[in-house]
């Protein structure tokens, strides 16, 4: 149903975005990089680059949240944290620290399309929508972590804060690893995050009814 060409374009765009960023990823390079026909761009993405970015964003989000959710439900919060970090470590090392997180790229950059704005006003609605999608992906990952912590007895407010800490620090660390061309920061952060989570879980175990 969904075209194979289209899927390859979306995946390729996500990969390129994670390496070069949103603005530096051109549609021409996406088709070059994926071996897909250039003429199909307008067909599969009538709204152009904006649409391709949007699709790549939710694609990347699901690619992480799918395995993460499954693993967290079967093996708990700490295992989820380890898997989350191991996943990014794999992405970094397999690409020799070239690839990062496309969602973070959208959250850091600002995509403005010069071509479709003849009038002076930049289309800030499009940029808002991209940020909304990126925020949605982050919120989704956070929700998975939050639910796991809740299920293991952590109070709601604390679980929300811990989930935010896990997602934010991991994303930041991925960028730092890219800058350092080393996975060491990821190891350091993982170690500390495990301490934090296990201590939060232990504390709730001490006071089963309060």
Partner DNA sequence: TCCTGACTATGACGAACGTCATAACTTCAC
Partner DNA sequence: GTGAAGTTATGACGTTCGTCATAGTCAGGA
Tell me which residues touch a copy of itself (CB under 8 A).
19-24, 98, 100-101, 104-112, 131, 134-135, 138-139, 160-162, 164-165, 167-173, 175-176, 178-181, 185, 188-189, 191-193, 196
Burial 6-27 (b: 16+ CB within 10 A, else e): bebbbbbbbbbbbbbbbeebeb
Where residue 5 falls (left for φ over 0; alpha for ψ -120 to 50; beta otherwise) is: alpha
Binding mask 67-106 for DNA (x = CB under 7 A): ----------------------------------------
- Which partner, a copy of itself, DNA, none, binds residue 8 by CB below 5 to 8 Å per kind? none
Binding mask 19-58 for DNA (x = CB under 7 A): ------xxxxx------xxxxxxxxx--xxxx--------
For a copy of itself, which is the closer residue by CB, 22 or 58? 22
Distances (CA, A) of 186 to 3, 107, 127: 37, 20, 30
The least CB distance from residue 5 to a copy of itself, in Å, is 26
Residues 86, 91, 93, 95: what is their CA dihedral angle, to the nearest 10 degrees?
180
- Which partner, a copy of itself, DNA, none, binds residue 44 by CB below 5 to 8 Å per kind? DNA
The least CB distance from residue 23 to DNA, in Å, is 8
- Pairwise CA distance, residues 168 & 209, whole Å: 31
For a copy of itself, which is the closer residue by CB, 117 or 135? 135
- Which partner, DNA, a copy of itself, none, binds residue 168 by CB below 5 to 8 Å per kind? a copy of itself
- Secondary structure E strands in 87-172: none
Binding mask 111-130 for DNA (x = CB under 7 A): --xxxx-x------------
Residues with Cβ < 8 Å from 126, sequence gap 6 or more?
50, 111, 113
- Pairwise CA distance, residues 98 & 20, whole Å: 8
- Pairwise CA distance, residues 126 & 150, whole Å: 35
For DNA, which is the closer residue by CB, 50 or 169? 50
- Which partner, a copy of itself, DNA, none, binds residue 38 by CB below 5 to 8 Å per kind? DNA
If one counts every other C-beta atom within 10 angstroms of the C-beta of residue 205, the result is 9
């Amino acid at each position: 149903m969904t075209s194979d060409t289209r899927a390859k374009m979306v995946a390729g765009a996500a990969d390129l975005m994670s390496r070069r960023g949103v603005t530096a990823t051109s549609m021409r390079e996406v088709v070059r990089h994926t071996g897909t026909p250039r003429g199909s761009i307008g067909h599969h993405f009538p709204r152009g680059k904006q649409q391709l970015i949007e699709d790549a964003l939710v694609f990347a989000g699901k690619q992480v949240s799918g395995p993460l959710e499954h693993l967290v439900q079967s093996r708990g919060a700490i295992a989820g944290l380890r898997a989350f970090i191991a996943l990014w470590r794999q992405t970094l090392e397999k690409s020799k620290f070239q690839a990062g997180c496309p969602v973070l790229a959208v959250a850091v950059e600002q995509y403005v399309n010069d071509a479709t704005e003849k009038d002076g006003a930049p289309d800030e609605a499009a940029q808002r929508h991209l940020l909304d999608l990126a925020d949605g992906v982050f919120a989704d990952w956070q929700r998975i972590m939050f639910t796991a912590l809740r299920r293991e007895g952590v109070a709601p407010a604390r679980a929300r804060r811990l989930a935010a800490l896990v997602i934010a620090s991991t994303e930041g660390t991925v960028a730092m690893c890219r800058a350092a061309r080393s996975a060491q920061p990821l190891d350091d952060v993982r170690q500390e995050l495990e301490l934090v989570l296990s201590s939060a879980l232990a504390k709730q175990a001490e006071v089963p009814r309060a």
